[in-house]
Structure 1
Amino acid sequence: MSQVKVITDSAADIPERICGELNIGVVPLTIRFGDTEYIDKVNLKTDKFWELCLAAKELPQTAAPSPGQFQEAFEKARADGYQEIVCITLSSSLSATFQSATLAAEAVSADIDVAIIDSRSATVGQGGLVLDAATRAAAGAGLEEIQKVIKSELERVRVFGALDTLDHLKRGGRIGAATALLGSLLSFKPLIEIRDGVVEPDGRQRTRSRALNHLIEKVSSHRGLSHLAVVHAQAPDIDDFLGRLSSATGIAVNDIFVSEIGPVIGTHAGPRTLGVSFWTE
């Protein structure tokens, strides 16, 4: 058994099957529809989330895990025999998740070494770092080595997305209201980038087709890229997009990591969002 336990939060959008295979611990965020709270991945699966969104009069809200939730995960890892923990969280500029994990690490510091890493990213950008850490842990790497490598990789991660609307980001306070208003009035398809840990506008396109072409051009313009991933929120054109992305990059469809946007990111991105993540040289 590896001596290092890798833990993340549910914003990383890593499929449950892969988390199980790599023994990745996931601390869930909370999703609130009005007065009703759900625990991501526990009593709120992705399909149910989108059903609730369609029926809801108001958009849902998210809340970071408490320090106690992280502490429970850290203590369980110690009880399971792990000697060290690497915890990679959603960007600290987007959520209080990193702060909760840091407080929890301090609470258990006398019993187990915990390294908290701010991914400065989200969804499969964050998830790619988690997968790399877990793969290294499974191969026998220790906490110090994993922490050093992951921190060196943070600047290489790029994440871009094409949204159907900026309404979700605007209401969730994750992007400026003026930009959201402009995109809505002109019926543009907004493009975003996670840059330096925050969501930034990356332009607008008149149609979804042009927006998705923009994503493909973003990816294919980089040479020597790796860790190519695609994430989507019930996008009906995902298969077509993967085929065109494969043709543009020369990377086989089977070698592109594909995941679904879960409730946390879906709350702020909205349905039909399609995103890409990759690492630069």
Structure 2
Amino acid sequence: MTVRIVTDSSCDLSAADIEDHAITVVPLTIRFGDEEFTDGQGLTAEGFYQKMAASPELPSTAAPAPGAFEMVFRELADQGADAVVCVNLSFALSATGESASAAARAVDGEVDVRVVDSGKVSVGLGLMVKAAAAAAAAGSSADEIVEQLAQLKDRVVIYGALDTLDNLKKGGRIGTAQALLGSALSIKPCVDLTSGVVEEAGKQRTRGKARAWLAKQVADAGELEHLAVAHGAAEDIDAFVAALGENPAQNPLTVTLIGPVVGTHAGPGVIATAMVAAR
């Protein structure tokens, strides 16, 4: 049985990972006022942060239309896929999963499509997508992959240290971190995205203390199977990575620039970690 893996562009996987694991990515769109960009096409992650810094208004994102997923599902079926597992960013944060589900219904009877709510974002979603792709390459069935993802979903923990709450507030994704809005302007908010929504995890008085808090979450997790670090063009990312020290989960550590989809809502300067504790 041939199972193919599909995800969306919020996964923040590298081009090499996407190619090596034969993953198909359906892009979201990013808007700066009347100007619209397809994620990964015509707007790089680096270019996005430069544009956001120069823009008088914050950007917004839009989920792919169901037709974009439907086209991909049909193409994969034409290429010989017996089943497709489509792993998307948290349904609580985006309508992307709804679009994928609508497309799956449209191709029902033509190709077996399983749409999975990862409950994660950015590199947390990326960890799950790569796990699904590895399982597919090893010959796992769609049922087996979906079950593996359900178990992994409970193990992926995501924390972030934000430089600003402006983007989350404007985008309506602030969740329980709403309470942080009344804090002094100098407060650096820390959030927990493990559940698929933004939850308050703490607040630090300086950027350095926020980095230290985030590094402590990694240290306190103990031995790790996987660790992924991502950031929104954070100038102090090297200082954060140095604070992690040696980690058996991934050495040397891969550090990823957060793409426009998540960067739109997390804002510039965010640093995030996604980790899976060893069993």
In the aligned structure 2, how far is the partner of 1:143 from the partner of 1:178? 39
Cα distance in 1, alignment partners of residues 195 and 241 from structure 2: 27
1:271 and 2:268 correspond: yes
Matches within 5 A, 1:112-123: 112-123=111-122
2: CA distance, partners of 1:178 / 1:218: 22
Residues 72-98 of structure 1, C-alpha deviation per residue, up to 9 Å, x if partnerless? 111111112211101000101000011
Aligned to 1:14: 13
Summarize the Cα distance change of 1:78–1:251 in structure 2 as closer, same or farther, 3 Å threshold.
Answer: closer
> Residue in 2 aligned with 1:150?
149
Deviation track 1:151-178 (CA, whole Å, cap 9, x = no partner) reads 1111111000011111111111111585
Cα distance, 1:195 vs structure 2: 3.5
Mark the CA change 1:276 to 1:87 in structure 2 (over 3 Å): closer, same or farther.
same
Partner of 2:243: 244
Query: 1:18-33 alignment to 2 at 5 Å?
Result: 18-33=17-32
Matches within 5 A, 1:98-177: 98-175=97-174
Once the two structures are TM-superposed, the CA of residue 253 in structure 1 deviates from its matched residue by: 3.5
Check the 8 A contact 2:226/2:249 in 1, yes or no.
no
Compute the displacement of 1:259 (Å): 1.4
In 1, the alpha carbon distance for the partners of 2:237 and 2:269 equals: 9
Return the alpha-carbon distance in structure 2 between the equivalents of residues 106 and 178 of structure 1: 36
**Letter paired with 2:211:** L
Equivalences for 1:197-212 in 2 at 5 Å? 197-212=196-211
Question: Normalized against structure 1, the TM-score is what?
Answer: 0.94
CA distance in 2, matches of 1:170, 1:179: 11
Q: Distance in 1 between matches of 2:27 and 2:34?
A: 19
Change (3 A) 1:87 1:251: closer
Q: Is the 8 A contact 2:231 2:258 kept in 1?
A: yes
Q: CA deviation at 1:181?
A: 2.7
Aligned to 2:181: 181
Report the Cα offset of residue 230 of structure 1.
Answer: 0.3
What is the Cα deviation at residue 193 of structure 1?
0.8
CA contact (8 A) 1:158 1:277 kept: yes
Distance 1:146-1:174 versus aligned 2 partners, 3 A rule: same
How many percent identity over aligned positions? Answer: 43
Aligned to 1:82: 81
Query: Quick check: 1:243–1:253 contact (8 Å CA) kept in 2?
Result: no
Q: Give, in whole Å, the separation in 2 of the partners of 1:250 and 1:78.
A: 39
The DSSP-based 3-state class of the residue aligned with 2:198 is strand
Structure 1 partner of 2:251: 253
How does the TM-score come out when normalised to structure 2?
0.94
1:5 Cα deviation after fit: 0.8
SS at match of 2:40: coil
**Measured at CA, do residues 211 and 274 of structure 1 come closer, stay the same or move farther in structure 2, by a change above 3 Å?**
same
Cα separation, 1, equivalents of 2:200 and 2:263: 17
User: Which 5+ residue runs of structure 2 have no aligned equivalent?
Assistant: none
Is the 8 Å Cα contact of residues 242 and 253 (structure 1) preserved in structure 2?
no
| CA apart distance, 1:252 | 5.3
Alignment CA distance shift 1:111-1:251 (3 Å): closer
Whether the 8 Å CA contact 1:85–1:115 is kept in 2: the answer is yes
Q: CA RMSD in A?
A: 1.6
Q: Is the 8 A contact 2:163 2:267 kept in 1?
A: yes
What SS does structure 2 have at the residue aligned with 1:110?
coil
Question: What secondary structure is seen at the aligned counterpart in 1 of 2:245?
Answer: helix
- Deviation of the 1:257 alpha carbon: 3.6
